[in-house]
Structure 1
Amino acid sequence: MSTSAPDLRHPGVSSDAGVLESRLIEIPRTTFADDYWGRRALLSRGVSDFSDLFSAAAVDELISSRGLRSPFLRVAKDGATLPTSSFTSPAGVGATIGDQLDDTRLWRQFHDGATLVLQALQRTWAPIGDFAAALSSELGNPVQANAYITPPQNQGFDDHYDVHDVFVLQIQGTKRWVIHEPVFDAPLRDQPWTDRRASVAEAAATEPAIDAVLEPGDALYLPRGWLHAATAQGEVSIHLTLGIHNWTRYGVAEQLAQVALARLQDDPAMRSSLPMGEALPDDEVLERIREAMVAALAEADPNPGIERTRRSQARPAPLGPLAQHEAVRNLSRETNVQLRAGLDPTVDGVRLHTRIGWFDFSEADLATVRRLLDGAPLTVEEIGRPLAERLLAAGALVPALG
């Protein structure tokens, strides 16, 4: 697929203004990459109009009309998450699954001061899905989108930190954010704030780094570990939180260790048993094991494992089965098709790896596939009907837009 020209001082950071620079920050993206990414909070005032992404009407539609189930919503009040049974119920004949959102119960919870949290909106609300996919591509990290709907003068959660970076986008109303620097820098996913309640509470009582009321169009960036609490002001507040699930050096180390251990499985000496009667290795055996691990690590390549994990953390663009059926049924030499968005394709030899599986090609077909990777639509005649039919049937090609 076509990509923007890379910034040579910042590998992986595009020099063209994408959604990050055009809608989320008021400084150059290179300045953000150098001075803020993973380091400092950033408040950007009036940086964009987010009404195209989400709204109060979207909240009502999702809760009352979409048949969402409990994983897509949670409810918080007075710093605690309420039990799922307090806002779910079956939905009548033909829809008796018991964990569907109950709009009456949710209204009563909201009216009583609870915050509604619509989760994983990148899967349930198309404009947010497109936006999250674009931001994920720019940042090189998976993005999850949640919406927080808070009644006036209420706070859903006490001071805490997240284990991922976030962008906060104020959609409607106003919300006061009180932010403190970390008590624990760059926490990993298994290092939650609840492990440090006392330190968090102590830090929350000190002078904040930022104390600001966000208005519609404002955006706030918080690196993981930064403490925050937010309170709606005089009207209902709706904000989006874009959670950036950061790849870390520790994550790369995990991949290295997995590859090295897999290599050691093929070493008969490493598979051999310890001497009978000994539950622990002696110093000599332990040193040999260390040497073997160091050698395996030196030869380990973590990138294939990282690529597989990264692909599994997101989905390709939506695929309509009926539209795809019509495209296959009405295929002609003049039909324009293109590679499905969000496949995250990479070529390794004659093999194309994607989020929906891998494909092997002849050298001749691979040349055509590389043209498809550039992103421009091609006709069936240009691709060749057998290859076009194969990729359409697999869900890798789709009818071209427009």
Structure 2
Amino acid sequence: MLSTAQQAPRVQIVNTASLRGQMSSLVSLPEEAEALDDAARTLPVDKETLRRCVGDEEPFIADVWGKRAQVVTQGIPASDLIDVSDIDRMLTSQPLLRAELIRLVRKGDILPRGSYLRSLREVYPRPVDHRMTEVERTFEDLTHGIASPAEVTAAVRGGATLILQSAHWYHPPLTAFCRSLELALGHRCRANIYLTPGSAQGFGLHSDPHDVFVLQAFGEKNWHLEATPWERQHRMEPGLTDLVLRPGDVLYMPQGTPHRAHTQSGQSGHVTISVTSNTWRDVLRTSLLELLEESLPAEQLDAELPVGWLHDRGSTTGPTERLMAGLRTVLDDADSERIRSAHLRTFLTELTDRIPGAFATDHTLGFFGVNDTTRLRRQETVPCALFRQPETRRLHVVLGRRTVTVPDHFGSAVRHIAACGEFQPQDLSFALDVSERLELCQALVDAHLLLLA
């Protein structure tokens, strides 16, 4: 028997990718299978964010998604996500928007970057002994410059639409909104901000290669839509053609829907959420690779192709037949839940980290540490799913790129943490003793699921 010093730690933080092949399907402990499975499937989904965009989600998913356009009216104005003062701050008060984060479009034409960017050398001077060639200087100005507030403002006054791209990276309200929506949908989301002056049009008639939600923040904008791909396929007339979006309205368009928009007399601002499809091709790519690595010996998968295989067809016959036989066995043994779980782990692992408040929590806890009365809260932008490793009777709490592994009997405490807003470690006394619950909470703080309340 191992001594205390030799025993494996009860709680460990590991990289999720390193656990490929070790986690089974979603947790299903015999005595509480339904509760655990439900927690793993649904947390931390915020259905309010989805309902804000689509209304009643069940008929939307069944009858609208990917098929036809829809408008939800009289909702919450998107000014809580973006307003004029936010755009002012990003562009004029803290003017550090890089070239790839900004575009200007007027009547279908994208304005050249050189007309509104200034060199980063003004902000980060180069060493005095570095002499740039003209080509280097031009390349830097066009690809690594930052927005010039005066030039951008002049362009917007002249009728150009300002597009702040990938705003979910740097604007916290959109960071949280996109994370909540992508966990509810199961698809990746990104946000662009549009500011259009009065009597102006940005793009002409065009379509996007992704599904789109348009949330009107301030002002009004006229939209013209044509038939969606699904409507064209079924030879149907477009369900929506001409409409006006006002604050609180949300427009949904399936990918490939032709559309254009323009303002009347007043300025308009809206947020566009682009939804990148998570396809069955992605499922097969991720799950088949994992199943193969689980089931076939590494020496077979990593064996070199025979010399001369390019022109000697017979040299690959035997190895190919053995590989295909192994693949058929793997596919015969794989059920739908195993494949779904493998792809779920990959999807969560590839999500970008969203952990606001991590440094502040570390700073405070560095002085006091977690104790039984420390008030903690769940980080809503961090995903959480439970998986089981049957051989070792351990649970894997997958938190995006990080995984916390715990003993099986920690499961009910983890579910309680994942489902609640604020709590204290002493609230977990129904499941864990004091040392166990403090160890668990500290690990979940270190893995960024928990913050100081």
**Aligned partners of 1:149 and 1:239 also within 8 Å:** yes
Q: Return the offset for 1:103.
A: 0.6
Larger displacement relative to structure 2 (125-134 or 49-58) = 125-134
CA-based RMSD: 3.8
Name the CA distance, whole Å, in 2 between partners of 1:88 and 1:363: 56
CA drift of 1:14 comes to: 12
Aligned equivalent of 1:330: 368
Partner of 1:75: 104
Asked if 1 retains the 8 angstrom alpha-carbon contact of 2:219 and 2:268, the reply is: yes
> For 1:57 and 1:78, how far apart are their aligned partners in 2?
26
Name the residue aligned to 2:275.
244
In the aligned structure 2, how far is the partner of 1:269 from the partner of 1:222?
Answer: 44
**After the TM superposition, which of the residue ranges 307-316 and 335-344 deviates more from structure 2?**
307-316
Matched, 1:121 2:167: yes
> What is the TM-score with the length of structure 1 in the denominator?
0.78
Residues 285-309 of structure 1 show CA distances to partners (whole Å, capped at 9, x for unaligned) of 4994666554444445543244223
Q: 1:104 to 1:265 in 2, by over 3 A?
A: farther
CA contact (8 A) 1:316 1:355 kept: no
Q: Give the residue type in structure 1 aligned to 2:104.
A: V
One-letter amino acid of the counterpart of residue 171, structure 2? W
SS at structure 1 position matched to 2:260: strand
1:88 matches 2:117: yes
Equivalent residues in 2 for 1:290-309, closer than 5 Å: 293-299=327-333, 301-302=338-339, 303-309=341-347
Q: 1:218-272, CA deviations, whole angstroms, 9 ceiling, x for partnerless residues?
A: 2211011111111222222211111122222232233344346656674749957
What aligned pairs does 1:186-335 form with structure 2 within 5 A after superposition? 209-259=240-290, 262=293, 266=298, 268=300, 271=303, 273=305, 276=308, 279=311, 281=313, 285=317, 288=321, 293-299=327-333, 301-302=338-339, 303-331=341-369, 332-335=371-374
**Residue in structure 2 matched with residue 378 of structure 1 by the alignment:** 423
Q: CA deviation at 1:63?
A: 1.0
Give the equivalent residue in structure 1 for 2:178: 132
How far, CA to CA, are the matches of 2:76 and 2:383 in structure 1?
Answer: 28
Q: Distance in 1 between matches of 2:387 and 2:226?
A: 46
**Residue 100 (1) aligns with residue 146 (2):** yes
Choose which of 18, 21, 24 in structure 1 pairs with 2:48: 18
Secondary structure at 1:213 match in 2: strand
Bigger CA drift: 265-274 or 299-308?
A: 265-274
1:340-364 deviations in Å (ceiling 9; x for gaps): 3222122223222212411222345
SS in 2 for 1:130: helix
Shift of 1:96: 4.9
Tell me the distance in 1 between the aligned counterparts of 2:327 and 2:248: 52
Distance 1:368 1:14 in 2: 15
Whether the 8 Å CA contact 2:404–2:444 is kept in 1: the answer is no
Tell me how many residue pairs correspond in the alignment: 372
Contact map agreement 2:45 2:180 (CA 8 A) in 1 = no
**Kindly tell me: are residues 366 and 44 of structure 1, through their superposed partners in 2, closer, same or farther at Cα, counting changes over 3 Å?**
closer
Distance apart, 1:104 and its partner CA: 1.2
Amino acid at match of 1:68: L
Is structure 2 residue 84 aligned with structure 1 residue 56?
A: yes
Larger RCO, structures 1/2 (Cα 8 Å, 6+ apart): 2
DSSP 3-state at the match of 1:113: coil
Contact 2:188 2:277 (8 Å CA) reproduced: yes
- Matched-pair identity in %: 23
Q: Provide Cα deviations, 1:282-336, integer angstroms capped at 9, x if missing partner.
A: 7x94994666554444445543244223442343341241343113413443211
Q: Which runs of 5+ in 1 are unaligned?
A: 187-198, 200-205
Equivalent AA in structure 2 for residue 359 of structure 1: V
SS of aligned partner of 1:51: helix
1:147 aligns with 2:176: no
Q: 1:362 aligns with which of 396, 407, 413?
A: 407
Greater CA deviation, 146-155 or 45-54? 45-54
Residue of structure 2 equivalent to 1:342: 381
Amino acid at match of 1:173: G
* Deviation by residue 1:368-387 (Cα, 9 ceiling, x = unmatched): 33332232433244564344
* Cα shift at 1:107: 1.2
Residue of structure 2 aligned with 1:353, choices 398, 419, 423: 398
Deviation, 1:160, is: 1.9
Structure 1: distance between partners of 2:412 and 2:240: 54
Per-residue deviation, 1:177: 1.4
Instruction: Decide whether the 8 Å contact of 2:97 with 2:147 is kept in 1.
Output: yes
Unaligned runs of 5+ in 2: 1-34, 127-143, 389-393, 429-433
Q: Matched residues in 1 for 2:198 and 2:287: separation?
A: 49
Structure 1 window deviating more from structure 2 (381-390 vs 145-154): it is 381-390
Distance 1:12 1:357 in 2: 19
Q: In the superposition, relative to structure 1, how do residues 87 and 362 fare at CA in structure 2: closer, same or farther (>3 Å)? A: same
Q: Is the 8 A contact 1:25 1:47 kept in 2?
A: no
- Please tell me whether Structure 1 or Structure 2 has the larger radius of gyration of its CA atoms: 2
Q: Which amino acid aligns with 1:99?
A: G
**Counterpart in 2 of 1:163?**
209
Which structure shows the bigger proportion of residues in helix conformation? 2
TM-score (norm 2): 0.70
